[in-house]
Amino acid sequence: MSRIRPYRPSDRAALYEVCVRTADAGADATGLFSDDALWGDLFAVPYVERHPDLAWVVETDDERVIGYIVATDDTDAFATWFRDEWWPSLQERYPKPAEPSTREERMVDYGYSQGPGKNANAAAYPAHLHIDLLPETQGQGLGRQLIETLFAELRRRGVRGLHLGMDPNNTGAAAFYTRLGMTPLPAEPGGQSFGVLFD
């Protein structure tokens, strides 16, 4: 049996691993980039650095972390922190590409492009999340439990809504978000977004 518990700093390495192993539209992205850590440095670890209180993991009986949810309750404030505090420490590791052409260069450029006001959905849906589960977790209701745990905390804080972006090739994830009552939102070309408003 697996269980959900709050994130602990000792889970950091596991977040990198789960992130890369699910980053290619839900499939394993290991080796796609010159540095596998790029995925986690963009989409997982900065969230637990800024909001460890909005992060939960799925842990097996033998204490392996096999899934997680991370979030921010204020997208624009998070983007400001990412731009001013998180990403500068990584710029030597990930130099800014002059003209991004490869998938990896576009991901690195995404790191450089972060800042408040960049996400059109953030005003009405200020929170956002990232959730990743290894294949062995799927079909057990753990994704729904993670989402419900986060939503309960966001409601407790009085957050009005949440959005998320995803790879449109991940059709299973899109169906999952729809089942949870999320609705499609405007998205950047090549992307897909969903949102939910809290009562």
Residue 54 located in a structural domain: yes
**CA torsion through residues 104, 108, 109, 111, sign:** positive
Count of structural domains within the chain: 1
Q: Inform me whether the pLDDT recorded for 171 exceeds 90.
A: no
Size of the chain, expressed as the number of residues it contains: 199
CATH code where residue 52 lies? 3.40.630.30
pLDDT tens readout for residues 146-160: 999 999 999 999 999
The residue among 188 and 13 whose pLDDT is bigger is: 13
Residue 198 located in a structural domain: no
**Mean pLDDT of the residues in the chain:** 95
Alpha-carbon dihedral 168, 22, 38, 174, rounded to 10 degrees: 20
CA–CA dist 22, 30 (Å, integer): 9
Domain of residue 116 covers: 3-162
What is the mean pLDDT of the segment spanning 109-126?
Answer: 96
Strands 161-166 and 127-133: parallel
Structure tokens at 76: 């624009």
- pLDDT value of position 47: 98
What pTM does this model have?
A: 0.95
